[in-house]
Structure 1
Amino acid sequence: MVTANSNSLRSVFNLLKFTYVIVPIVAGLDKFTNILTTWENYLNPSLEPMLPFSPHIFMMIVGVIEIVAGVIVLIKPQIGGLIVAAWLTLIAITLITSGRYFDIAVRDLTMAIGAFSMSRLATFIKA
């Protein structure tokens, strides 16, 4: 039987927490600058006609949501991890339904599993 070493669990949790604080905040901030990529390209084309504003404005709103999610992970990782996991899953579903960017959808689903795992670890180690 393998027993969990609390220091090992804590270090894994801290690495995941750091990741899920920084990545959403950086991605959210980049929605305003498009330094990493042109985020509007990832918008499902079938959603564009339904938007009451430009795709760029929509992505800035997405950016604010991502920044807030990263801050929630910092403050309440158990809840923030679930929010980030759900958010990434929704993004992946949107990409899959667009019929494009399947590689990004798979990456986002993998990241969602990591965020969910971080949330569960937070519960286990009482973070």
Structure 2
Amino acid sequence: MNQHEFEAVIRQPAAKRYEYFIKKTADYEEVWGLYNEGWATAQDDLGNTLLPFFPNEKFAETFAKKEWEGFSPKRIELDHFLEKWLPGMKSDGVKPSIFPTDTDSALIDVDTLMEDLAAELEKY
């Protein structure tokens, strides 16, 4: 990915970045989170715990700042994400925050994320 594509993607609205996330996650069969002696989290306005996820290492590294200063990108295999992470997050009431930037994030429920990833993976 060149710098022009990178900048174009991060300027997109959250819904478009979510679509990009689904496509790239299925393409490369990996998800990226931020880790530093534990996974990075955030909270929404209602106090729900959110876990941020990114489509690749460069995006994750770019947004490892502010409350996530000192966190590093960490890869999660897509199969493990689908089979372990998402069911665990659902049972714990944790919501995925997809591709957060300085301005916004796609807040998606676990079931929708699982369905969208499964639908994209069927195309392969």
Q: What TM bracket, shorter-length normalisation?
A: 0.3 to 0.5
TM-score, normalising length: structure 2: 0.34
TM-score, normalising length: structure 1: 0.34
